[in-house]
A and B are shown apart, each in its own frame.
Chain A
C-alpha cells in the first residue's frame, strides 16, 4: 500500500534519515519503533507531506507519490494524528472537523457528518461538545474522526497511547485493529514495545535514521526489538530503562532498597484544593512522606495529581488543610520548556532561577557560573559550558540539568512530575538513577508519571489518585490500574 525506499534527509549537520525504508501492507497495523531522535517522526512527516526528503522514493498504491503539503496527503488518503493535538479548544468537535473543509459551513450538516463518520468507525463522540470540556481520550477520537472525515485509508498515529489510561489505551488499540481489518492500514509510532507487539502485524525499527529491523511481529520478541532500538552500543545503564519499556519484566517497589527511615519530611493533613473556577481538584488528601523513600503517584490525566504535586512543592496553597514542608523542596515540573527553564538564557542564569524570588541584593554571578559548571559535571549534562543557552541542549540534557539544579542544594524533599517525558533510553535511565541516588542520600521523593510502569519501577510505595482522592494501594499492576479508573480496591 505504502512503500518508502532509501529516504535520506539531513538538517544541517544532523543526518535525520539515512536510506530509511518502510513498507506498509493493506489491512495491517504497522508499528514504527525507535528511540527519541531515531527518525520516526521525521519519516512520518515525509509521508504526511510536511517534509520533502532530500532523496528517496515514496510509492502509494503502486504509483510514485509527490507530496508538497498535508492537504496533498489527505487528498491521497493519508491522515495523521500528532502527539500534541491540533484542535481549537474553544470550538466544538463538529467545527474542528469542518475546519479542513471547503465551501459554506452549516452547523447542522457538520454535526451530522461527524455523527455519521464516528458511527461508521465505531467511535463514541459528541459533535456538539467543546474541545476544552473533553477529556484527552475524546480529544484523540476527535483527531481521528477529523482524519476519517477526509476518507483516509492510511492513518498515522504518533504515540497515541502516551496520554491515555491503560483501559483507554486498550480500547484505542482494539479500534486500531478493527480499522485495519476492513482494508485500511495504520502506522503506530510508539516506544512502548508491549503495545507494538500486542496489536501490530509488522514492525519496523529505526535507529539513528536507518531502518535496522523490519519484520513480522509474530517473528520477533520484546528483547530483540529492544536490542534493535538501542543499537549495538547498548551499555549497562540501559537495563533499567529496558524494564520501563518492557513492563512484562517489572516488579513493583524494589524491596532491597531498605532505606533508613528518618522521620516524616513532607506531610499533608486533610488537604483540599479548589482552582480559580471553584472546581475541587484535591479532596481531603492526607499523606506523609518519609526521608529516603520514593513515593510514586499513579493517576490518569486530570485526577488532581497536577495540583497535588504543586501543593507538596509549595507552588500552590491549600484551600483547606495543612501542608508541612521542609525549608528546601526541589520541584521538577513535567513541562520543562514552559515551567522550568529560561530557554533563551544561559545555563548559569537558569541555575540562578532557583530561589530567585527570595534573593536579595547583588547576583553572585561568578559563584553561580562555577556552581553551574560543577552541576554539569556531577549530573553528566552534555553542554558546552555554563554560558550555553538552555535552548541548545537536547531534551535529555535539559532534564538532567533541571533535576541537577533542584538537587544541587540537597533539598530534604523533591517533587517530580513525569521525569522522563520525551526522553530517550539513556536519558531516562540517567534521570531515574538520579532519583534513586537522591532517595539513597536521604531525600524524600514524590514522583508522578503518566507511565504507570515508570511509577512501579521507581516507587517504594505507590499511591493512586482518582477524582482528587488519594488511595494507598497494596497490590499488583492490575489492582492499581483498576483504582486509577475509579474501581474498588
Chain B
C-alpha cells in the first residue's frame, strides 16, 4: 500500500517535471506557453472524441509495448526491441489478411492477432538466441533488429505486400470484415483496448501468482540465486520471458493494424516501442501500472498532435520531453533507491 502511494506521488512529480520542462522548451523556442499547453490538454482530454479517439487509441499500442518491455525487464532482459517486434507483428498480420479474406471474422480476426503475436515472438527469439547461444548483448541486438524490421517493412510495402495499384508504398487496406469491432459509434475506440486491459491483468496475475511467473521474477532479481538456491533452469526461463515479451509487442502491432491503421506502411509506428520503455519504467515495471502510464503517454502524444495543429508547435517538442522523462525516471529511481536503502539501514 505504502509502495503504491509512493509510486503515485512519484508519478505526480514526474508529471509536474514534464510540464516544467515542456514550458521551458516552449519558452526557449519562442512559443506562447499557455496557448500551447492548453492546446495540448484539449487535444488529450478536451472532448469526448479526444479522449476516445486520440488518447486511448494511442494508449493501446503503448500499453502492449509497455507490457512487453516490463515483462522483459522483470526477467532482467533489456529488450529495447519492442519497436521492431511490434512492426513484425503488424507485418505478419498484414500478410495473413490476404489469404484470410472471406473467412468469417470470428475466426479470421483471432488468427490475425495470433499470427502477429507469433511473429513478434519469433523476432524477439532471434535476439534471445543470440544472447543465450553467443553472448550477444540484447540491448545491441534488439536495437539493430529494430532497424532491420523498419527497412523490412519498407521493402514489404513496396514489394510483396504493396496495394494492388502499386502506386503508394503501403499495403492494401484491410477488408471491413477483418476490422476489430469499434466499441463506441462515431469514435475510433476499438476492442483492442479491452484486450490490452485483459492482457495487463493476466500478465500481473501470472507474474504474481504462478510458479513460472515467480521464476521469471527470481531470475530477474538474481539469476545466480535462482540457479543455485532455486534450481531454476535460468537459460530456459530467460528465453521464455524474452519470447513472451516479443509476443506481447507483436500482438500490439497486430491490434494496431486491425484496430486503427487497417494498412501497413513505412511509418506505421511513431516510435511506440521506444516510448514504451518510458511507459514501463514509470510504471515501475508493474503490469497494472502500465495501464496508467500508457494512458499518460497516450495523452501526451495525442496532445502533441493537437499542439502542432492548433498552436504551431512542432510535436517533436513532446518527444524531447518524453526522452528527458526517461532520464529523469532512471535518475529518480536510483536516487529513491539510495534513500530507501539509507532509511532501512537506520531502522
Give chain A's interface residues, CB within 8 Å of chain B. 11-14, 314-315, 331, 333, 338-345, 349, 352-363, 365, 389, 391-392, 402
For the A-B complex, the count of residue pairs with Cβ-Cβ distances under 8 Å equals 88
User: Do B229 and A358 touch across chains, with their CB atoms under 8 A apart?
Assistant: no
User: Do B231 and A315 touch across chains, with their CB atoms under 8 A apart?
Assistant: yes
Which residues B208-228 have CB closer than 8 A to chain A? 209-211, 213-215, 217-218, 221-222, 224-228
User: Do B233 and A315 touch across chains, with their CB atoms under 8 A apart?
Assistant: no
User: Do B210 and A361 touch across chains, with their CB atoms under 8 A apart?
Assistant: yes
Q: Is B110 an interface position by the 8 A CB rule?
A: no
Please indicate which of the listed interface residues A354, A359, A361, A365 has the most CB atoms of chain B within 10 Å of its own CB.
A359
Q: Which residue of B lies closest to A361 (CB)?
A: B211
User: Do B225 and A363 touch across chains, with their CB atoms under 8 A apart?
Assistant: no
Stretch in contact with the other chain, from B59-67, B85-93, B338-346: B338-346
User: Do B225 and A339 touch across chains, with their CB atoms under 8 A apart?
Assistant: yes
Q: Which residue of A lies closest to B236 (CB)?
A: A357
Enumerate 28 A-B pairs (CB-CB under 8 Å) in ascending A order: A11-B345, A11-B346, A12-B343, A12-B346, A13-B347, A315-B227, A331-B228, A331-B229, A333-B228, A338-B225, A339-B229, A341-B229, A342-B222, A343-B221, A343-B222, A353-B226, A353-B229, A354-B229, A357-B231, A357-B233, A362-B210, A363-B209, A363-B210, A363-B214, A389-B344, A391-B341, A391-B344, A392-B347
In the assembled complex, which residues on chain A have CB atoms less than 8 Å from the CB atom of B217? 345
User: Do B209 and A356 touch across chains, with their CB atoms under 8 A apart?
Assistant: no
Please indicate which of the listed interface residues B215, B217, B221 has the most CB atoms of chain A within 10 Å of its own CB.
B221
With A342-B221, A362-B209, A363-B214: A356-B226 Cβ-Cβ less than 8 Å? yes
* Cα separation A360 to B211 with both chains bound (whole Å): 6
In the assembled complex, which residues on chain B have CB atoms less than 8 Å from the CB atom of A315? 227-228, 231
Q: Which residue of B lies closest to A402 (CB)?
A: B229
In the assembled complex, which residues on chain B have CB atoms less than 8 Å from the CB atom of A356? 211, 214-215, 218, 226, 230-232
User: Do A354 and B221 touch across chains, with their CB atoms under 8 A apart?
Assistant: no
* Cα separation A406 to B184 with both chains bound (whole Å): 57
With A339-B228, A339-B229, A357-B230: A12-B211 Cβ-Cβ less than 8 Å? no
Nearest-Cβ distance from residue B74 to partner chain A, whole angstroms? 12
Shortest 5 CB-CB contacts between residues of A and residues of B: A12-B346, A356-B230, A357-B231, A359-B211, A339-B228
* Cα separation A355 to B341 with both chains bound (whole Å): 29
Chain B interface, DSSP helix/strand/loop, else mixed: helix
In the assembled complex, which residues on chain A have CB atoms less than 8 Å from the CB atom of B210? 361-363
User: Do A13 and B346 touch across chains, with their CB atoms under 8 A apart?
Assistant: yes
With A331-B228, A357-B231: A352-B214 Cβ-Cβ less than 8 Å? yes
* Cα separation A343 to B225 with both chains bound (whole Å): 10
User: Do A14 and B229 touch across chains, with their CB atoms under 8 A apart?
Assistant: no
Q: Which residue of A lies closest to B346 (CB)?
A: A12
In the assembled complex, which residues on chain A have CB atoms less than 8 Å from the CB atom of B227? 315
* Cα separation A342 to B230 with both chains bound (whole Å): 10
Which residues B181-240 have CB closer than 8 A to chain A? 209-211, 213-215, 217-218, 221-222, 224-233
18 further A-B contacts with Cβ under 8 Å, apart from A339-B224, A363-B211, are A13-B346, A315-B227, A338-B222, A339-B225, A339-B229, A341-B222, A342-B221, A353-B218, A353-B226, A355-B230, A355-B231, A356-B226, A356-B232, A357-B230, A359-B214, A363-B210, A389-B344, A391-B341
* Cα separation A360 to B210 with both chains bound (whole Å): 8
* Cα separation A402 to B229 with both chains bound (whole Å): 9
User: Do A14 and B346 touch across chains, with their CB atoms under 8 A apart?
Assistant: yes
In the assembled complex, which residues on chain B have CB atoms less than 8 Å from the CB atom of A345? 217-218, 221
Nearest-Cβ distance from residue B141 to partner chain A, whole angstroms? 23
In the assembled complex, which residues on chain A have CB atoms less than 8 Å from the CB atom of B222? 338, 341-343
* Cα separation A392 to B343 with both chains bound (whole Å): 10
